[in-house]
């Protein structure tokens, strides 16, 4: 069974390209369409109802563009809206959640840190997952301001360093040995984070796992692309500059009102 329709992805902005990268690396001949809803970023400070409405809007555009599956490349949208999306639309959805499982299983200090948005950390889905690890101390930290700075292209700035220090130093003091990046924007901060945390603290995100899960769903249920040439399409409803820079100017970014 082959299927050459595109994989659709959406995020509140440029961050979900970290997930797109993993998907494109694993399945280079798949066509993809990425929506950066930067106009509405950050999602992490919005209500569950607002996040559901924005996720439905993005889904409907991806369905109009013939997406064969939808990757919710945003932890905040997944943890607040994936149940509602699955109930409303027939297309298969793949979501992304903070990777607390591998961190909790591998931690030797039994203390892990999770950096994520307020929307993710207060969601029912996240709080239920945490209950599965009663023997692990999970230090949760909202990354206030981080997504906004990334959306403004201010990743390597003093402002960013100060915020990261403020969020990470208390975790380091409490002896975490794993740091879970629970927001798809944060992989773009790894270089800055490494300047702050000691090298024994391992950083985990969920990008690779999401790519593998997407491949499984395509293989088992939807069909993989059969053509060798593929198209990578990126739409943004805000200024394309930051998205272009994050994609190293290798792909065509188009402006679209959505
Ligand atoms: N990339 C989104 C996430 O994974 C950022 C959410 C936001 O816009 O606050 O949570």
Please state the separation of Cα 113 from the chain's center in Å.
17
CA distance 14 to 134: 34
pLDDT in tens, 164-201: 999 999 999 999 999 999 999 999 999 999 999 999 99
| Residue of the CA atom closest to atom 2 of ligand 1 | 74
Q: Is 183 labeled as catalytic in the residue annotation?
A: yes
Read off φ and ψ for residue 75, nearest 5 degrees: -65, -40
CA distance 43 to 219: 31
CA distance 213 to 23: 10
Check 74, 146, 164, 168 and give the catalytic one: 74
CA distance 88 to 106: 37
Q: Is 56 labeled as catalytic in the residue annotation?
A: no
Q: In what helix (H) or strand (E) does residue 63 lie, and over which residues does it extend?
A: helix 48-64
Q: What is the pLDDT of residue 190?
A: 98
CA distance 143 to 116: 6
| Structure tokens belonging to residue 51 | 């996040």
- Whole-number Cα distances in Å, 252 to 67, 69, 74: 19, 22, 22
What residue ranges line ligand 1, CB within 6 angstroms? 11-12, 15-16, 41-44, 74-76, 117, 120, 147, 183-185
Question: 10-residue block means of pLDDT along the chain (258 residues)?
Answer: 97 98 98 98 97 98 98 98 98 98 98 98 98 98 98 97 98 98 98 98 97 98 95 97 97 96
Q: What is the pLDDT of residue 1?
A: 87
Instruction: Tell me 66's DSSP state.
Output: T
Please, what are the domains in the chain? 7-96+207-255 (3.40.50.1860), 100-204 (3.40.50.1860)
Residue whose entry in the numeric block shows the structure tokens 């998907």: 23
Q: Which of 168, 202, 48, 206 minimizes the C-alpha distance to 118?
A: 48
C-alpha of residue 216 to centroid of ligand 1, in Å: 25
Q: Is the pTM of this model over 0.95?
A: yes
């Amino acid at each position: 069974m082959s299927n050459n329709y595109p994989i659709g992805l959406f995020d509140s902005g440029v961050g979900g390209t970290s997930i797109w990268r993993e998907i494109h690396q694993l399945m280079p001949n798949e066509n993809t369409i990425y929506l950066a809803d930067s106009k509405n970023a950050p999602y992490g400070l919005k209500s569950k109802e607002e996040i559901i409405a924005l996720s439905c809007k993005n889904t409907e555009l991806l369905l109009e563009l013939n997406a064969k599956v939808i990757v919710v490349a945003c932890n905040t949208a997944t943890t607040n809206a994936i149940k509602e999306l699955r109930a409303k639309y027939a297309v298969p959805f793949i979501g992304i959640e903070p990777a607390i499982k591998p961190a909790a299983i591998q931690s030797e200090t039994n203390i892990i840190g999770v950096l994520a948005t307020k929307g993710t950390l207060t969601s029912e889905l996240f709080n239920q997952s945490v209950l599965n690890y009663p023997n692990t101390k999970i230090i949760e930290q909202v990354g206030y301001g981080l997504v906004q700075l990334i959306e403004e292209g201010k990743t390597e700035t003093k402002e960013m360093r100060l915020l990261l220090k403020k969020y990470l130093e208390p975790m380091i003091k409490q002896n975490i040995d794993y740091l879970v990046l629970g927001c798809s924007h944060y992989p773009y901060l790894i270089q800055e984070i490494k300047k702050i945390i000691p090298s024994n603290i391992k950083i985990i995100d969920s990008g690779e796992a999401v790519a593998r899960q997407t491949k499984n769903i395509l293989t088992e249920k939807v069909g993989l692309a059969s053509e060798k040439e593929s198209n990578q399409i990126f739409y943004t409803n805000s200024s394309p500059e930051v998205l272009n820079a994050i994609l190293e100017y290798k792909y065509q970014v188009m402006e679209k009102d959505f």
